[in-house]
Amino acid sequence: MKNSTVKTAIVTGASRGIGKAIAIKLAANGYQVVVNYANSEAEAQRVVAQIEQAGGIAIAVQADVSKIQQFENLFDMAEKTYGPVDVLINNAGVSKLSPIADSDDDLFDYLFNINVRGTVNGLKLAAKRLSQGGRIVNFSSTAVATSTPGMGLYVGTKAAVEAITKVFVKELRGRQITVNMIAPGLIQSEMFFEGKTAAQIAQMEKLSPLERFGSVDEVADAVAYLVSEDAGWVNGLLIRVNGGVA
Ligand code: NAP
C-alpha cells in the first residue's frame, strides 16, 4: 500500500548475507523495503515473510543489477508499490578468488559487470529518481586496503566503486542526497566462506584485534546509521566495518 509518509528503501542483493540483514534492519526501523534478488527467489520471499511476521512492510523484486533495463524495472516496481524511493543500498556484489595471472575474460566481465556496472546503473537511476533528501550507500570491501593476493580483480571492482562514488557525491550537488560507502571485512556470509579452506578460515578469525569475525547485523547497523536523520551531514564517507583489521 502507498504511504508517502513512510520512507521507501531498495536493497539490492537482499536474498541473503549482508543485504538480507540490511533489509530486515531497515524494515524494523520503519522503512518500506524492496528486497531485490537476481536468482534466489525463494530466499528473497523468505526475507519478505520474516519482515512481515515482525510487522514490517516489504516486497521481493527480481532484477539483475548489471542490466539497466532490469534495474529500471526495479525502480518502477518500487514506485508503483510504495511511491517515490528515498534510499538505495547498492549492496549486490559477487566475488571469486583467482590470482591475476590465472584470470580470464569471463571472470573479468563477471566481476566488473555486477560490481561496477551494477552499482553505476543504480547511481544513474537514483540521480534521476531518488527523492530530494534521499540516501545512497555503495559497497566496497576492506580488501581494497589489505591488497589480499587472489582478490586482484575483485579489489579492482571495489576500488572503481570507491573512485566513482567520490565523483558522484559532487555531481549530486543541489539534490540534498547523501552518498556514502561501507567497506566490510571478515563478515560471516556465504561470500566470505566461498573458496576458502577450513585452515584459512581458522587463521583469518584471529586477524582482527577483536579476534573474531563480524556479523552481517553489524554491517546493517552501520548502514542504518548512514541512512538515518542523524547522518544528515555525513556525505562521501567510507566506513570500514571490519573490526579494525585495516
Ligand atoms: P553474498 O552472501 O554472496 O550475497 C550476495 C547477494 O547479492 C545475494 O543476495 C545475491 O542474490 C545478490 N546478487 C548477486 N548478483 C546479483 C545481481 N547481478 N543482481 C542482483 N543481485 C545480485 O554476499 P555478501 O557477503 O552479503 O556481500 C554483500 C556486499 O558486501 C557485496 O557487495 C560484497 O562485495 C560486499 N563485501 C562483503 C564482505 C564479506 O566479508 N562478506 C567483505 C567485503 C565486501 P542472488 O542469489 O539472487 O543472485
Specify the pLDDT at position 157: 99
**Angstrom distance (rounded) from CA 61 to CA 121:** 16
**For ligand 1, is residue 66 a contact (CB within 6 Å)?**
yes
- Record the pTM: 0.98
**Angstrom distance (rounded) from CA 209 to CA 211:** 5
Specify the pLDDT at position 5: 85
DSSP state of 229: G
Q: Which three cell numbers stand for residue 81?
A: 508499490
Domains and CATH numbers, the chain: 8-240 (3.40.50.720)
Q: Which atom of ligand 1 is nearest to the CA of 40?
A: 47
Alpha helices (H) in the chain, listed in sequence order: 17-28, 41-53, 68-82, 105-111, 118-129, 143-146, 152-171, 190-193, 198-204, 216-227
Q: Which atom of ligand 1 is nearest to the CA of 158?
A: 34
Residue nearest to atom 31 of ligand 1 (CA): 93
Asked if 96 and 142 count as a contact pair (C-beta separation under 8 A), the reply is no
DSSP state of 187: B
Specify the pLDDT at position 1: 60
Q: Is 154 tagged catalytic?
A: yes
Q: Which atom of ligand 1 is nearest to the CA of 216?
A: 26
What's the 174 CA to ligand 1 centre distance in angstroms?
Answer: 31
**For ligand 1, is residue 141 a contact (CB within 6 Å)?**
yes
One-letter identity of residue 181: M
Among 86, 58, 81, 68, smallest CA distance to 178 is for: 86
SS3 150: coil
Specify the pLDDT at position 195: 84
- The stretches in the chain having pLDDT less than 70 are 1, 4
Asked if 21 and 220 count as a contact pair (C-beta separation under 8 A), the reply is yes
**Angstrom distance (rounded) from CA 142 to CA 244:** 10
**For ligand 1, is residue 157 a contact (CB within 6 Å)?**
no
Among 144, 147, 146, smallest CA distance to 163 is for: 144
One-letter identity of residue 99: P
**For ligand 1, is residue 13 a contact (CB within 6 Å)?**
yes
